Amino acid sequence: MRKFAVLAVCSLVNVGAVASDDPNGDEFCRSSMELAEVIMTNRQNGLSLSDMLDGADYVQQTNENEYGNQASEVVNKVTRLLVLQAYKEPVWGIPNLSQNAINDFATKTYFDCLDGFTD
């Protein structure tokens, strides 16, 4: 349940970024990067895809109650996309390789997100 709570907090931050005035996307992209880091950390720590998808469903329900359907829908799509992308990556059994995978995934998410705001 703690992993769901961390995922929920990061996603709630992301909902706030969706709802805010963020014309260049920096706040939203930073929140997405933090969410990506949490998701990949859970991936590297062996949390199952099923559990992560259950967590994403839990987050969606929480966000709908708190922020309404539109913001929740955007964040749910981002969360699910990041979960699916993370689970295409291998799990590394060596701590420094796991940390590199986490850092690389979060960084790629940030830059891909920023690219979406400049296209």
Cα Rg of the chain (Å, integer): 14
What confidence score (pLDDT) does residue 9 get? 44
pLDDT digits (tens, 9 = 90+) for 43-87: 999 999 999 998 888 877 776 666 666 666 777 888 889 999 999
Assign 18 a pLDDT band (cuts: 50, 70, 90): low
Instruction: Check pLDDT > 90 for residue 117.
Output: no
Average pLDDT, the chain: 80
Cα–Cα distances in angstroms (integers) from residue 108 to residues 1, 66, 69, 77, 118, in the given order:
27, 29, 28, 17, 15
Q: What is the pLDDT of residues 24-37, one digit of tens each?
A: 788 888 988 999 99
